[in-house]
Amino acid sequence: MRVLITGASGQLGTDLLDAFSGRLPMAGDPAYAEGHLSSAHEVIGCDLEQFSLTNAAATMDFITRAQPDLIVHGAAYTAVDRAEAEAELAMAVNRDGTANVVAGARAVNARVFALSTDYVFDGTASVPYLPDDHPNPKSVYGATKLAGELVCGPETTIVRTSWVAGYHGHNIVKTILALGAKGTPMTFVDDQHGCPTLAADLAVSLVRLATIQPGGIVHATNTGATTWFTLARTVLDEAGYDPEMVQPIATEKRVPAPAAVRPMYSVLDGEALVALGVGPLPAWEGSLRRLVRLLVD
């Protein structure tokens, strides 16, 4: 297959490039050294440094030249708090950019995996969200990602994930490690519940999903759920720092309050992926600890 990856320089996009081209994501990790990636594809990446997906003509031109069979659309405006003040830009990238990708895919008869987010939900549930549960985003970012889902046709596979961290790019795990190394005390909320997801695990699952291309919505996260507080303590513990450096705080006590409202509960039900024979992804804690070991080595 020829696979085009948008957002190829991003956190997930970098692992997607490696996974689809048959290179092992997080090289040297024994978890990936046992034939998990049996087939290599021809892979093309693009990112903002080449052109903006908000440019319909440039997007169409790139896709028709590339002639992909599958587009994994990972590019997005992902600055959750900044989006509250940049709603127009976030909507242009996350809705219109996605529409441009889908139009290009239709022109060359390619299928699309469109990455989306747990932030399309309002977080009032108390059991894991199913793909067909009613979305009700509370943030601009969540609203723009939902708008991006809605411009996709039924042939597109919408892959919702959550709390992504990987070896490449910026993420909260790296921030926690940097603060831990300096011995800086920190607080993390212990009342928001979600599923941490290792970018490499997600990338590998998308390689497997590429043989199926089911259409519709699937949820793809590491297995299990936790809070940001427990995640932060796990990172410090695995790195050999004192976990007591992080203390719990209630969301309503955060000062200053972050600009965007996050769902208090955004655990995604991954059974649809399991039914397709792709999941489950590994348990979050083992994957997070593997990532920490790679980052501190």
* Catalytic (active-site) positions: 141
Q: With respect to ligand NAP, which residue has the nearer C-beta, 185 or 216?
A: 216
- Any idea how long the chain is? 297
Using CB under 6 A as the binding rule, whether residue 7 contacts ligand NAP is answered as: yes
> Rounded to the nearest whole angstrom, what is the least distance from the CB of residue 168 to ligand NAP in the complex?
8
Using CB under 6 A as the binding rule, whether residue 13 contacts ligand NAP is answered as: yes
What is the rounded distance in angstroms from the CA atom of residue 196 to the CA atom of residue 262?
Answer: 15
Using CB under 6 A as the binding rule, whether residue 11 contacts ligand NAP is answered as: yes
Q: Which residues of 137-161 are buried (b: 16+ CB within 10 A; e: fewer)?
A: bbbbbbbbbbbbbebbeeebbbbbb
Q: What is the CA 79 to chain-centroid distance, rounded?
A: 13
Q: Choose one: 161-169, 174-182, 229-237, 250-258; the region binding ligand NAP (CB under 6 A).
A: 161-169
Decide if 72 contacts 20 (C-beta within 8 A). yes
Using CB under 6 A as the binding rule, whether residue 287 contacts ligand NAP is answered as: no
Contact residue for ligand NAP among 4, 5, 44, 53 (CB under 6 A) = 53
Of 178, 289, 179, 189, whose CA–CA distance to 245 is shortest?
179
Q: Is 281 helix (H, G, I), strand (E, B) or coil?
A: coil
Q: With respect to ligand NAP, which residue has the nearer C-beta, 54 or 223?
A: 54
Using CB under 6 A as the binding rule, whether residue 117 contacts ligand NAP is answered as: yes
Q: Of residues 57-116, which lie at the interface with ligand NAP (CB under 6 A)?
A: 74-78, 93, 97, 115
Judged by CB under 6 A, the number of residues near ligand NAP is 26
The residue with tokens 């979600």 is 194
- What character string, x for contact with ligand NAP (CB under 6 A) and - otherwise, covers 208-247? ----------------------------------------
Sign for the pseudo-dihedral over CA of 124, 125, 130, 133: negative
247: left (phi over 0), alpha (psi -120 to 50) or beta: beta
Q: Choose one: 25-33, 36-44, 159-167, 178-186; the region binding ligand NAP (CB under 6 A).
A: 159-167
Of 78, 217, 108, whose CA–CA distance to 153 is shortest?
217
Using CB under 6 A as the binding rule, whether residue 196 contacts ligand NAP is answered as: no
What is the rounded distance in angstroms from the CA atom of residue 100 to the CA atom of residue 151?
Answer: 9
> Rounded to the nearest whole angstrom, what is the least distance from the CB of residue 45 to ligand NAP in the complex?
10
> Rounded to the nearest whole angstrom, what is the least distance from the CB of residue 143 to ligand NAP in the complex?
12
Find out whether the peptide bond into 258 is cis, omega within 30 degrees of 0.
no
Using CB under 6 A as the binding rule, whether residue 162 contacts ligand NAP is answered as: yes
Using CB under 6 A as the binding rule, whether residue 142 contacts ligand NAP is answered as: no
| List of residues 6+ apart from 258 with CB closer than 8 A | 81
Q: Using CB under 6 A, list all residues that contact ligand NAP.
A: 7, 9-13, 47-48, 52-54, 74-78, 93, 97, 115, 117, 145, 161-164, 169
